[in-house]
A and B are shown apart, each in its own frame.
Chain A
Amino acid sequence: MTSEIEPSACSCDDGNCACGTGGCACGSGKCTETIGDSSDQGPEMPDLGQGWTTGDLDEEWEAHAEEKLETVDFDVELGVEMSRDAMRLARGELTEAEFHDKHHEAIKAEFGIDERPTKSTPLEATRGGDGNALPGVPAVEGSGLSSRRGLMKAIGGLAATGATASVAGCLDQDAGGSASATDGDGGDNEVQMGMVIDTDQCIACLKCSEACKEENNTDRGAQWMHVFRYEEDEYGETRAGQMPRPCQHCSEPSCTYVCPTQSRFKREEDGIVVTDYDRCIGCKYCEVACPYGVNFLGKNEPTEKSPGFFGSETDQNDRHVGGPPPAGVMGKCTFCVHRQDDSAQRGTTACEDDCPVDAIHFGDMNDSESDPREYLRENDEETRFKLLEQQGNEPNIVYLGNEPSNEAKPVDGPYTYEDVGLETLAEDGGDD
């Protein structure tokens, strides 16, 4: 048994093989023989080519595979979970060390031994046997002063005076780590989750706002997903439009720059911008620095709309980032981060799921095969824009349709928040 869980057996060079365990719960047809008699009749594993994901598998084949797995003596759930993670490893969303570490306990429990290295040096973690960086894993850190962050560093050093800054610089090397807001410097994230939102498709039904509230159990008055409904004058004609607005999960998020505790940070693994609820001091600087107005301070005022938050509150690095913010700390759209850390729901968000007209397309904006990128290609005739692009935050929401003009005026849509049992606090000027 032990020989099969040697790390050497797991090295993945491309998207084809996603092995990883002794029990071998591989997604790839190449490995199925280890399950048992492969001569069984059943649908063939379709050839999906390189770069496929579980979403591409047809359900029939998956059911067949699961049925086969029932016959083995090993923990099937663990196997399935590990193979999903192995695919993430192949896509570069996980490092090898993280992958090994994640299932270390479970593997030990199942097989009594796990000799795969869980604490490897960064060099070992990011390089394959031949010394090349694994696919999708950045081998070098972000560049010096070219980014806005680099400039901020320079000014910060100036303000703190030379000596302190250089000391701080050294400390930063140690203190930063994966917890640092410098996670995935700027837009260098290999995986950058984002959305393509088709405003022409959108019917302003507010289903996304409603789904978000139910899923994330946000406070009264907080709409992490808000839908603008507006009118504007277009050469004498009145044009109506609508524009859903989640957090833009920017590549240069001004909220993370100003945060005095690095509670607001950009996740290295998928570029999602979240808040560490256990560290945030509630200074509201992130809210002030965000040009999109997506932040809502936690008030512990849940609504009747949601029975509670049932996702994981902590992410894979054990930081408290999921669900509604506790009272006094800042919250905002998390791209349903609890779903992204759960293999069964990965790649989905509540708003996308509930959109009746398929206007929201969520996925990795850096992956040309992802749903949003494909949607962009399919609709290459349509105009597209990013909101407030001149602000330099490099948002990761791409809108299809016409951008609201500078003279656009808000109007009531076919549904108001009251219609769907939600409310905003605008009437009484914020808080009461």
Chain B
Amino acid sequence: MSTGVLEDRVLYPLENTSRRFYALLAVFVLTTILFLVAWVYQLNVGVWAATGIGDWGISGGVPWGLYIGGFVWWIGLAHGGIAISAAVRVINVDRFAPIARVSEVLTVLALSMAATNIVLSMGRPDRIFNTIIWWPATVHHSPLAWDIAVISLYLVLSLTYLTLSLRAEIAAFRDRLPVHFSPLYVLLTLGYSTSEDEKIEQILWWLAVAILALVPLLSGGVVPWLFSLIAAQPGWFGAAAGAAMLTESLTSALAGVIVITAIFRWAYDWDDVIDERIFRDLAIVLAFLALATIWFTMHDILTGVYAAPTNIGALTTAMLELSFFWLAVIGLVVSVVALFVMIGWPEQFFSIPALVGVSVILSITILNKKVMFVVEGLMFPTAPPLTNLYPTGSYSPTLVEWWLFIGTIFLAGFGFLVASKVIPMVELDPEEVN
């Protein structure tokens, strides 16, 4: 395929809008309105009344639930997304270049949705900026303050990365981009000259290196530390949580990128732009990541049931009785088997719809695992003798909770829909034009 044709195909959505697009836009606008309605309801009656969360201790509640589990899930998607994009640039595998832009946009949107979930779970969301005001004083001791630092750092890095990578492209194709977004394009290409291209490429490469170096420390560190440092909750306490959570995050992020890329490919008939070979290679990486997630789960179970300290043993036994746990195990095993069958016999079994199906199962499974991790830790809190003296916690999310969490997925979809009308969703090479 010649470069000119590729450009035409990628820029097509920016130049033309189909009826299907407007239909989807209407759906997303509607879901956004419903999200806002549910949120206003929750703000009115209070998070404690609108959701299934309660106080642990004598009330037998669980103070963190779907929102916090959802926050961890979104953070995983975000960190994994930017890691995939950065890896493509650092290792210089041009073949994967078509998925880089989608990964970057996913990161920006997912970080916003992670923050939204935190706001949803707060008792006084109107005071969210107190965390920023007091940050200089709390960063010494509060894992939540570290987390705010990490999310802000990631947002700055990914937005910088996205903006820099767009400058040359937007400058080159300016005359083919929608006129009504001109002010944005002027801003993005402020002071642009073609002589900067080489420098920008170097900056992007180093940014990518920095992002890759930070992923294990931040995504595999600070976010799991929110839980693993809390000695009061034996279900969370531990050192390996970071590695396990990072693996899960990368799994769900790759699954997310596969699903979104496949949707774009299908919606705009980009079969020629995004080659099927890319999906086959991604399937191999996804298979091994999902296998590693099973491996970590196995470690959890074995150390929890074999001669473990009494309360850890009881906790693991209780986990093994949760149906959600077995749903997660089944989801992981089925996905891994399906992926290896696809890799082993691609001619018979590999298809993009099947891969998307497995990716969706994996995303939901990881979400289940994260929510279960948060909730289960709080269902069996503290150490004996208090563990036995307090009632076991119980939690089931309300409809409002479900809707607001799922609403954040729709919001992210809305974000992708808008982004597809503003920037090219596949990186183009501006030099071909110049």
**Residue positions of A touching B, CB distance < 8 A:** 149, 152-153, 156-157, 159-160, 164-165, 167-169, 171-172, 175-176, 180-182, 221-223, 226, 228, 230, 254, 256-263, 279-285, 287-300, 327-330, 387-388, 390-392, 403-410, 424-427, 429-431
Contacts and interface: CB of A to CB of B under 8 A. Distances in A.
A167 B382 CA distance: 36
A430 B395 contact: yes
A405 B389 CA distance: 10
Interface string B375-392: 000100111111011110
Contacts of B141: 149, 152-153, 156, 181, 256-258
A280 to B, nearest CB: 7
A288 B388 contact: no
A171 B136 contact: yes
Contacts of B73: none
Interface string B219-253: 00110010000111100000000000000000000
A287 B56 contact: yes
B46 interface: yes
Contacts of A405: 385
B20 interface: no
15 contacts: A149-B140, A257-B141, A260-B138, A261-B138, A262-B137, A263-B130, A282-B124, A284-B63, A289-B232, A292-B386, A403-B385, A404-B385, A406-B310, A430-B393, A431-B61
B19 interface: no
B54 A425 contact: yes
A202 B58 CA distance: 19
Interface residues of B, number: 69
B408 interface: no
Given A261-B134, A288-B64, A296-B59, A430 B53 contact: yes
A165 B60 contact: no
Contacts of A407: 384, 388
Contacts of A181: 137-138, 141
A424 B231 contact: no
B388 A408 contact: yes
Sort A-B residue pairs by CB-CB distance and give the 10 closest, nearest first.
A282-B123, A430-B54, A430-B61, A293-B57, A328-B123, A429-B394, A171-B136, A291-B232, A406-B384, A260-B144
A426 B59 contact: yes
B318 to A, nearest CB: 15
B35 interface: no
Contact of B122 (A259, A282, A387, A410): A282
B152 to A, nearest CB: 11
B206 interface: no
Contacts of B51: 431
Given A406-B388, A426-B59, A426-B391, A282 B140 contact: no
B231 A392 contact: yes
B168 interface: no
Nearest to B60: A426
B390 A156 contact: no
B380 to A, nearest CB: 12
B124 A328 contact: yes
A10 B427 CA distance: 78
A156 B140 contact: yes
Interface in B28-71: 46-49, 51-64
A307 to B, nearest CB: 24
Contact of A429 (B57, B122, B150, B395): B395
Interface string B401-432: 00000000000000000000000000000000
Contacts of B136: 167-168, 171-172, 175
Given A169-B140, A281-B127, A404-B389, 5 more contacts: A258-B142, A258-B144, A263-B130, A293-B58, A295-B55
B122 A168 contact: no
Contacts of B61: 425, 429-431
Given A153-B141, A258-B142, A408 B385 contact: yes
A390 B46 CA distance: 36
A388 B139 contact: no
A329 B390 CA distance: 23
Contact of B52 (A172, A262, A410, A431): A431
- Is chain A's interface secondary structure helix, strand, loop, or mixed overall? loop
Contacts of B366: none
Nearest to B387: A406
B107 interface: no
Contacts of B48: 297, 299, 327-328, 431
Contacts of B313: none
Given A293-B56, A388-B386, A406-B384, A330 B221 contact: no
Contacts of B233: 288
Nearest to B214: A161
A388 B61 CA distance: 21
Contacts of B231: 254, 291, 391-392
Contact of A330 (B123, B140, B145): B123
A281 B382 contact: no
A295 B383 contact: no
B232 A288 contact: yes
A282 B386 contact: no
B57 A281 contact: no
B88 interface: no
B47 A328 contact: yes
B122 A430 contact: no
Contacts of B134: 175, 260-262, 279
B149 interface: yes
Contacts of A298: 123
A426 B60 CA distance: 5
Given A230-B389, A260-B134, A294-B57, A283 B383 contact: no
B310 to A, nearest CB: 6
A168 B386 contact: no
B135 to A, nearest CB: 8
Contacts of A409: 388
Contacts of A425: 54-55, 58-61
Contact of B382 (A262, A280, A282, A293): A293
A279 B230 contact: no
Contacts of A287: 55-56, 63
A279 to B, nearest CB: 6
A212 to B, nearest CB: 13
A153 B140 contact: yes
Contacts of B62: 430
B274 to A, nearest CB: 37
A283 B383 CA distance: 23
A381 B421 CA distance: 80
Contacts of B310: 406
